[in-house]
Amino acid sequence: MEFKQHILMEQKEYFADRVNNILTAIHELLSAKKQMGAKQMVKSTETIANQIRKVLHTSWPRSEHKYLRVLQKCGVALMKAIDEKGDLPETFNSVRVELEKLSHKLRVPVNKLGTDSDDTPKRPEPKPPGESPEQLPPHQPQVSPETINQQIAG
């Protein structure tokens, strides 16, 4: 029974990862929309819609089907905005909100940042007060190339 739970959790994390990839693409598109022309924005929107289409056509367990409907609505909204020459940035914002809600419902973190206790770097131990500091080499002034040329020529 434990292996079956592991497989189900792995599928849920994979699904959440795919949703988060789409959400990241939407965020990148929203941040770069001022630098994009209309054709480039439409092309990027079609790419995101194709990502959604790939997720929808993948085989998922029944427990994920309710989330697929949200993805389908987002994909349809994006393509409808392109076909009807609607307001793409406004559509992006609404799709972003829906995908963020979906990501929150999946309860899988978008990223797994953090460090383990084993990965923390160890600080060097301070020197005992009785020891003298390390001897540094004496400071040598830098000589300019003109000075060297004058010494060679002279």
The pTM of the full predicted model, rounded to 2 decimals, is 0.62
CA within 13 Å, CB half, 39: 0
Q: How many CB atoms lie within 10 A of CB 116?
A: 6
The span from the CA of 75 to the CA of 44, in Å, is: 13
End-to-end CA distance of the chain: 90
pLDDT of 87: 83
pLDDT of 98: 92
pLDDT of 85: 84
Q: Which mean pLDDT values do the consecutive 10-residue runs of the chain (154 residues) have?
A: 66 83 91 88 92 90 86 92 86 90 76 51 58 56 64 65
Q: What is the DSSP string of 113-127?
A: ----GGGSPPPPPPP
